[in-house]
C-alpha cells in the first residue's frame, strides 16, 4: 500500500506521509497541511475521520468486533483476569506478576482514606442531585485535598497519584450512593480484594453481616473489565485534552466524568433502563418503539443501540448479555424488562433500518439490567461505568503526558459575520 498521500489544492500538489499502526491501521499525517497550503485546515465534525494521537493501549476493529487491551482480547481478559490485573495491564503495559499485583493492591488500599472534610462537601448536595454531578465535583475537590501536582518526569510521583485515585474513587462512588440512599458512609475493608471491597463499601449495612455473592462479584468484575478502556471515545478524549493543558490528573478525570455523563455516551445505561421501563408501562409494544426509532420526525432513539466504531457487533455486549442471564438466574429474578430487551434486540437485528445502518446492541444495552438486579439505583449506573473506565483514563492520561503531546486545540472554519462597526446602544433600532 502507498506510503504517501497527495493533495491537489489551488493548483499545487502536496505530499503527506502515510503512517501505519501495528494492526495495519492507516493514517495520513497532515501535520504540515496549514504551512504548505497557506492556512487550509481539515473539517471533520465529531472527529469521525480524525486521529488525535498514536496510542499503544487499546486496539479495536469496529468492523470485525475486536477489542484488545495491550494486545490481550477482551474475551480472554473478561474470563481469566480480575479488574485489578486489567487496571495494572492498561496503566503499566503488561500483566502484573504475583508480586507486582500484590504490591499494587496494598498501595491502593493504603491510599483509600478520603479526608473527612470531603463529607461536608457531600452533605451540601441535595439528595436529588445526580450522582454523576456529585462524583465529578468530589473528584475535582480531591485536588484541593491533595494539592501537589504530579511530577510526570518522576515514575514515583506518577505511581503515587495513580494508586491514590484508584484507592479513593471507590470510596467516593460508594459514599455518593449511600448518601443518596440514606445509609451511613462506609470505608469498606481493605483486607478484601478491590472489587469485593467495593461491593462491601457499597452494600454493607451497619446492622447485619455482609456476605458477598460470588455470581454478582464475577458479573461486577466482568462489567468493570469490559468498561475499562475504549481508546479515543468522548470521555477519554476529554481526559487527554484537559490533561494536555497540564491540568492535574484529578481535574482531568473530573472532566472525563462530566463527558461520560451524557446519554449518548456513558449515560446510555441509565437511558436504556428508563426506555425499557417506559415501554413496559406503555403495554410492552416493542413494535411501536421500533417505529418511533425509525421515524426521522421523532427524536426517540433506541438507547443502547448503535456505536460510533462498532459496525458489526459490540464484543462487550455478548459477554454482558451472558452475565445478565447468570445474575438474574442466580438471584431468581424474573425481570420483564429483560424480555422486552431481548425482543427489541431480535426485532432490530432483522429490521432493514437497523441492518442497513449497522446498528447493534452496545455495551450498555444489558449492563443496566445487571446493575438493577444488584440493587444499584438507576442514576448510579453511569457512576459504575466511571469506576470501570478509571484505569483507561489514567493510562491514556499517563501516555499523553509521557509522550509530551502538545496542548489540544482544534481549529474551526468561521462562518459568522464579517467585520462590522460597533453601533452605540442609543443608535440601535
Ligand atoms: N436508534 C435509531 N437510529 C439510530 C440510532 C439509534 N440508537 N443510532 C444511530 N441511528 C441512526 C441515525 O439516525 C443515523 O441515521 P441516518 O443515516 O438516516 O441519518 C444513522 O443511524 C447513523 O447515526 P449517527 O448518529 O450518525 O451515528 P454516530 O456514530 O454519530 O452515533 C451513537 C453513535 C451516538 C452511539 C448513536 O448510535 C446513538 O445515539 N445511540 C444511542 C445512544 C447509546 O446507546 N449510546 C451509547 C454508546 S456506547 C458508549 O458510549 C459506551
Contact 315, 360 (CB under 8 A): no
**CA-based nearest residue to 170, from 370, 380, 317:** 380
Going by pLDDT thresholds of 50, 70 and 90, the confidence category of residue 336 is confident
DSSP string, 308-320: SS-SS--HHHHHH
pLDDT at site 351: 93
Going from the Cα of 235 to the center of ligand 1, the distance in angstroms, rounded, reads 17
In short, whether 268's Cβ falls inside 6 Å of ligand 1 is yes
Residue whose CA is at the smallest distance from ligand 1 atom 14: 357
- Quick one: 29 exposed, middle or buried, by C-beta within 10 A (0-12, 13-18, 19+)? middle
Going from the Cα of 290 to the center of ligand 1, the distance in angstroms, rounded, reads 14
In short, whether 362's Cβ falls inside 6 Å of ligand 1 is yes
β-pairing, 12-20 vs 4-9, is: antiparallel
Going from the Cα of 260 to the center of ligand 1, the distance in angstroms, rounded, reads 16
Mean pLDDT score across all residues of the chain: 94
Question: Which of 49, 306, 366 for mutating ligand 1's site (highest number of atoms within 8 Å of CB)?
Answer: 306
d(CA 361, CA 349): 9
In short, whether 292's Cβ falls inside 6 Å of ligand 1 is no
pLDDT at site 364: 86
- Candidate ranges 183-192, 234-243, 310-319; pick with highest mean pLDDT: 234-243
In short, whether 411's Cβ falls inside 6 Å of ligand 1 is no
DSSP string, 110-141: HT----TTHHHHHHHS-TTS-HHHHHHHHHHH
Contact 229, 391 (CB under 8 A): yes
Q: How far is CA 160 from CA 128, 142, 163, 200, in A?
A: 34, 14, 5, 25
Q: Which atom of ligand 1 is nearest to the CA of 307?
A: 35
Q: What does pTM read for this prediction?
A: 0.92
Going from the Cα of 305 to the center of ligand 1, the distance in angstroms, rounded, reads 7
The DSSP symbol for 5 reads E
What is the tens place of the pLDDT at every residue in 352-381? 999 999 998 888 888 988 999 999 999 999
Contact 62, 307 (CB under 8 A): yes
Residue whose CA is at the smallest distance from ligand 1 atom 34: 264
Active site residues: 307, 364
What is the tens place of the pLDDT at every residue in 345-354? 899 989 999 9
d(CA 97, CA 110): 20
Find the angle CA(85)-CA(89)-CA(94) to the nearest 5 degrees. Answer: 120
In short, whether 392's Cβ falls inside 6 Å of ligand 1 is no
What is the tens place of the pLDDT at every residue in 237-264? 999 999 999 999 999 999 999 999 999 9
Query: Cell numbers of 355, please?
Result: 441492518
**CA-based nearest residue to 238, from 73, 416, 41, 392:** 392
Residue whose CA is at the smallest distance from ligand 1 atom 12: 357
In short, whether 368's Cβ falls inside 6 Å of ligand 1 is no
Amino acid at each position: 500500500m502507498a506510503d504517501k498521500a497527495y493533495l491537489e489544492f489551488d493548483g499545487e500538489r502536496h505530499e503527506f506521509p502515510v503512517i501505519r499502526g501495528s494492526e495495519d491501521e492507516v493514517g495520513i499525517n497532515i501535520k504540515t497541511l496549514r504551512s504548505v497550503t497557506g492556512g487550509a485546515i481539515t473539517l471533520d465534525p465529531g472527529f469521525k475521520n480524525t486521529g488525535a494521537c498514536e496510542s499503544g493501549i487499546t486496539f479495536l476493529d469496529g468492523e470485525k468486533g475486536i477489542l484488545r487491551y495491550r494486545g490481550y482480547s477482551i474475551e480472554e481478559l473478561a474470563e481469566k483476569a480480575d479488574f485489578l490485573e486489567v487496571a495494572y495491564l492498561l496503566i503499566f503495559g503488561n500483566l502484573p506478576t504475583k508480586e507486582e499485583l500484590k504490591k499494587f493492591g496494598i498501595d491502593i488500599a493504603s491510599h483509600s482514606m478520603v479526608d473527612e472534610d470531603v463529607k461536608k462537601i457531600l452533605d451540601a448536595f441535595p439528595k436529588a442531585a445526580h450522582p454523576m454531578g456529585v462524583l465529578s465535583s468530589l473528584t475535582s475537590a480531591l485536588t484541593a485535598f491533595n494539592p501537589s501536582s504530579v511530577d510526570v518526569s518522576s515514575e514515583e510521583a506518577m505511581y503515587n497519584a495513580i494508586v491514590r485515585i484508584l484507592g479513593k474513587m471507590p470510596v467516593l462512588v460508594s459514599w455518593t450512593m449511600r448518601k443518596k440512599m440514606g445509609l451511613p458512609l462506609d470505608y469498606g475493608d481493605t483486607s478484601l480484594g478491590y472489587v469485593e471491597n467495593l461491593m462491601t463499601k457499597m452494600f454493607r449495612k451497619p446492622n447485619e453481616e455482609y456476605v458477598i455473592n460470588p455470581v454478582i462479584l464475577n458479573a461486577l468484575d466482568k462489567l468493570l473489565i469490559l468498561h475499562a478502556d475504549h481508546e479515543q471515545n468522548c470521555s477519554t478524549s476529554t481526559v487527554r485534552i484537559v490533561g494536555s493543558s497540564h491540568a492535574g490528573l484529578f481535574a482531568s478525570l473530573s472532566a472525563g466524568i462530566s463527558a461520560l455523563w451524557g446519554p449518548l455516551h456513558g449515560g446510555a445505561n441509565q437511558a436504556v433502563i428508563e426506555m425499557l421501563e417506559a415501554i413496559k408501562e406503555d403495554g410492552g409494544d416493542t413494535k411501536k418503539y421500533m417505529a418511533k426509532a425509525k421515524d426521522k420526525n421523532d427524536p426517540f432513539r433506541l438507547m443502547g443501540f448503535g456505536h460510533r466504531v462498532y459496525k458489526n457487533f459490540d464484543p462487550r455486549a455478548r459477554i454482558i448479555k451472558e452475565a445478565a442471564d447468570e445474575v438474574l438466574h442466580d438471584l431468581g429474578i424474573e425481570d420483564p424488562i429483560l424480555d422486552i430487551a431481548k425482543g427489541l434486540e431480535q426485532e432490530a437485528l432483522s429490521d432493514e433500518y437497523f441492518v442497513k445502518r449497522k446498528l447493534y446492541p452496545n455495551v450498555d444495552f444489558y449492563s443496566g439490567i445487571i446493575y438493577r438486579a444488584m440493587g444499584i439505583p438507576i442514576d448510579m449506573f453511569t457512576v459504575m461505568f466511571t469506576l470501570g473506565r478509571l484505569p483507561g483514563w489514567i493510562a491514556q492520561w499517563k501516555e499523553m503526558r509521557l509522550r509530551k503531546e502538545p496542548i489540544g486545540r482544534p481549529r474551526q472554519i468561521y462562518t459568522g459575520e464579517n467585520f462590522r462597526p460597533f453601533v452605540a446602544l442609543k443608535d440601535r433600532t
